[in-house]
Structure 1
């Protein structure tokens, strides 16, 4: 999977907010990681790679919700 971030997930400014720069950075990193894991599981599911999907779900069971969202779209 490419390490490039899609332009739709571009970094947004937090100027004028009360959160500290370090907490804002941490939140952005968590969001990017979540998007990456969601993309990975969807890609592996599309490739019919059950072993990779199983491993990702074992590591992060909350990914089931991302599959449910995309299945109904």
Structure 2
């Protein structure tokens, strides 16, 4: 059970790190329009292919932990 909690915490920390990277990329900075469009496309790809699947897996693992904890409490 302790290993499961550790894995979930590692997943949550990873999610927070990804969120920090995405927010840092979206932070407004002075740049040309062309570079801004390129950056927004990069962030969209990062969200679609990296961040969203990891966040979905973390939510699923949290649900699994909740089920395990509730079944072991009985």
TM-score between the two structures when normalised by the length of structure 2: 0.42
Higher relative contact order (CA 8 A, sep 6+): 2
Q: Specify which structure has the higher proportion of helix.
A: 2
TM-score between the two structures when normalised by the length of structure 1: 0.43
Rg comparison, structure with higher value = 2
